[in-house]
């Protein structure tokens, strides 16, 4: 097939700045640093504000999902900001593929770039499927290894920060600690030739200890879980700083980690084989990878439990088991069954208050989000879910008012 995109070349790697959209602040910061260790001048976009939406609306079909409008808007806004030489910039987009329209983000981004006069800006598709050819951006095994631990680390940091944040005596301390650890971990990964798992586990323990030492008040706060479409679930840009809002309302925020999503993607490949007989050749190795990650998650859970001060993540195989009776495991577009499973997972671990976030008109969420509320409520009468739509035209006051209603009823 004819190549229709611009490759990111070895040459470009020398002096190009690679921009990363702000989807998962903590995870992407760590990932950025890992990339930097491998010679990429990566920068995580921290821009906020109305201008991003406006730029997105200008260059993307307005009925496209909100995350596309934001991601593309943030990129073009950065190119137009004058802060960078557009001829020395590349963009990176994380792709999972699948039947959701989100698989088209990269194409929509390229179309928008052309429309805005930046057709020459290379876009790197970061995908484990690795369909595109970008010689300047090759995922080597040691790099992948580090990226994997970056996800584990960031999930842990995010979770502990959330568990401390609402109770900290000095405002901002948890966040600062998480950031300090992000820096320390990335430095460490750079200097160590070989990443020792023993060291990783040691780090888990040190991180837990540090968070434990943050002076906190004892108070009873409602726990509020956040689930939803991956971008609006995690990105403060996408969800109008939802986590911060919940904390300011006195809630403890519980956000399932990114590892769940990665495992979900892997699991779907296995299900394609099981349900449809597709991809039999790759099955053994994917199965191995799944088991491998599951084991790593188990280790992390054990270490958190060993300390006993914090809530660990739910083992993924348990999360999977929760959806039986609600939704088929084959519903795999977008966040698919994982969305339903995460609501059940939260309820299962005593977090009955949930904000289910979705971009306005999100197709998979009709089914796996809003479509599952009724059965979830029927079988878990104690649950308290509010579905919030995010959109360029949706108002924060409407969203906050609904969240306040959920909080007023919180358990």
Partner 1 sequence: MTETKKTPYSLGIDIGSTTAKVVLTKNGTVVFEKYERHMSQVRQKTLELLGQIEPYITDNEFTVALSGSAGLGLAEAAGIPFVQEVFATGELVKELCPDTSAVIELGGEDAKIIFFDGGTDERMNGTCAGGTGAFIDQMATLLDVTADEMDELSLKHSKTYPIASRCGVFAKTDIQPLLNQGARKEDVAASIYQAVVNQTIAGLAQGRKIKPKVLFLGGPLYYCQGLRDRFRETLGFSEEDSPCPEYARFAVALGAAIYAARVGHTTTIGNLIDSVNKNINVGTVSGRLPALFDSEEEYREFSERHKRASVKEQNISAYSGNAYLGIDCGSTTTKIVLLSEDKKILYSFYDSNRGNPVEIVKAQLEKIYSLTGDRIKICGSAVTGYGEELIKHAFGVDLGIVETIAHYTAAKYFMPDVDFILDIGGQDIKCFKIKNGAIDSIMLNEACSSGCGSFIETFAKSMGYSIDEFAKRGLFSKAPVNLGSRCTVFMNSSVKQSQRDGATVEDISAGLSVSVVKNAIYKVIRAASASELGEHIVVQGGTFYNDAVLRAFELELSRNVIRPAIAGLMGAYGAALCSMKLEQSSIITPDALKDFSHTSKSTVCRGCTNNCHLTVNIFSGGEKFISGNQCEKGLGITNASEPLPNLHAFKRDYFSSLESRDGARGTIGIPLALGMYELLPLWHTLFSELGFKVVVSDLSTKRTYEKGQFSIPSDTACYPAKIMHGHIEELAEKGVDAIFYPCLTYNIDEKYSDNHYNCPVVAYYSELLNGNMDTLANTKFLYPYLNINNKRELVRELMAYLNENLGSFKRSEISRAVKKAFAKYDEYMSAVKREGESAIDYARAQGKRIMILAGRPYHIDPEIGHGIDKLAASLGFVVVSEDSVYHLAEPARVAVLNQWTYHARLYRAARFAAENADVQLVQLVSFGCGVDAITTDEVRTILESSGKFYTQIKIDEITNLGAVKIRLRSLIGALEQ
**According to CB under 8 A, which residues from 304 to 333 bind partner 1?**
326-328, 330-333
Query: Which residues, 6 or more positions from 178, have their beta carbon under 8 angstroms from its beta carbon?
Result: 26, 157, 158, 160, 161
| Least distance from partner 1 to the Cβ atom of residue 252, Å | 20
What CA–CA distance (Å, rounded) separates 59 from 116? 7
The β-bridge partners of 123 are: 91
Q: Which two tokens stand for residue 85?
A: 């030489």
Exposure string of 311-348, with b = 16+ CB inside 10 Å and e = fewer, is bbbbebeebbebbeebbebebbbbbbbbbbbbbbbbbe
Q: Which is nearer to partner 1, 41 or 51 (CB)?
A: 51
One of 14, 188, 375, 411 touching partner 1 (CB under 8 A)? 375
What CA–CA distance (Å, rounded) separates 86 from 74? 14
What CA–CA distance (Å, rounded) separates 147 from 108? 27
Q: Which is nearer to partner 1, 177 or 407 (CB)?
A: 407
Q: Does 282 contact partner 1 by CB under 8 A?
A: no
| Least distance from partner 1 to the Cβ atom of residue 357, Å | 12
Q: Does 372 contact partner 1 by CB under 8 A?
A: yes
What CA–CA distance (Å, rounded) separates 297 from 77? 38
One of 10, 14, 49, 197 touching partner 1 (CB under 8 A)? 49
| Least distance from partner 1 to the Cβ atom of residue 183, Å | 31
Q: Contact 226/242 with Cβ under 8 angstroms?
A: yes
One of 278, 305, 309, 318 touching partner 1 (CB under 8 A)? 278
One of 119, 129, 288, 396 touching partner 1 (CB under 8 A)? 396
| Least distance from partner 1 to the Cβ atom of residue 211, Å | 31
For partner 1, the binding residues in 184-213 under the rule CB under 8 A are none
Maximum separation of any 2 CA atoms in the chain, in Å = 62
One of 83, 88, 170, 404 touching partner 1 (CB under 8 A)? 404
Query: Strand, helix or coil at 213?
Result: coil
One of 46, 81, 196, 398 touching partner 1 (CB under 8 A)? 398
The β-bridge partners of 41 are: 17
For partner 1, the binding residues in 58-97 under the rule CB under 8 A are 58-59, 61-65
Stretch that binds partner 1, among 6-14, 154-162, 298-306, 399-407 (CB under 8 A): 399-407
């Amino acid at each position: 097939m004819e190549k229709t995109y611009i490759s990111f070349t070895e040459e470009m790697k020398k002096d190009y700045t690679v921009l990363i959209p702000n989807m998962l602040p903590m995870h992407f910061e760590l990932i950025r640093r890992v990339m930097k260790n491998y010679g990429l001048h990566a920068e995580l976009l921290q821009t906020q504000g109305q201008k991003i939406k406006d730029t997105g609306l200008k260059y993307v079909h307005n009925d496209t999902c909100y995350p596309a409008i934001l991601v593309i808007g943030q990129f073009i806004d950065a190119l137009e900001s004058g802060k960078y030489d557009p001829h020395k910039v590349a963009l990176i987009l994380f792709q999972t593929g699948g039947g959701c329209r989100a698989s088209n983000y990269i194409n929509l981004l390229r179309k928008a770039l052309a429309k805005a006069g930046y057709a020459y800006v290379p876009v790197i598709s970061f995908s484990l499927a690795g369909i595109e050819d970008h010689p300047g951006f090759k995922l080597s095994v040691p790099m992948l290894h580090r990226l994997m631990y970056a996800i584990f680390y960031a999930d842990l940091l995010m979770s502990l920060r959330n568990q401390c944040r609402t109770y900290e005596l000095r405002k901002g301390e948890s966040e600062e600690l998480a950031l300090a650890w992000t820096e320390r971990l990335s430095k460490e990964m750079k200097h160590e030739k070989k990443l020792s798992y023993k060291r990783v586990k040691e780090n888990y323990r040190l991180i837990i200890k540090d968070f434990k030492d943050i002076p906190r008040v004892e108070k009873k706060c409602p726990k509020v879980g956040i689930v939803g479409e991956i971008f609006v679930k995690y990105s403060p840009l996408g969800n109008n700083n939802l986590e911060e809002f919940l904390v300011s309302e006195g809630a403890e925020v519980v956000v399932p980690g990114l590892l769940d999503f990665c495992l979900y993607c892997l699991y779907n490949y296995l299900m394609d084989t099981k349900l449809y007989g597709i991809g039999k050749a790759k099955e053994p190795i994917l199965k191995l990878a799944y088991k491998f990650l599951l084991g790593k998650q188990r280790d992390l859970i054990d270490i958190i439990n060993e300390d006993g001060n914090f809530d660990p993540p739910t083992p993924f195989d348990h999360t999977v088991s929760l959806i039986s009776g609600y939704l088929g495991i084959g519903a795999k577009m977008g966040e698919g069954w994982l969305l339903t499973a995460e609501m059940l997972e939260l309820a299962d671990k005593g977090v009955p208050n949930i904000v289910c976030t979705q971009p306005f008109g999100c197709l998979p969420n009709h089914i796996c989000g809003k479509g599952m509320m009724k059965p979830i409520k029927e079988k878990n009468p104690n649950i308290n879910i509010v579905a919030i739509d995010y959109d360029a035209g949706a108002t924060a006051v409407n969203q906050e008012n609904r969240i306040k209603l959920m909080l007023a009823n919180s358990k």
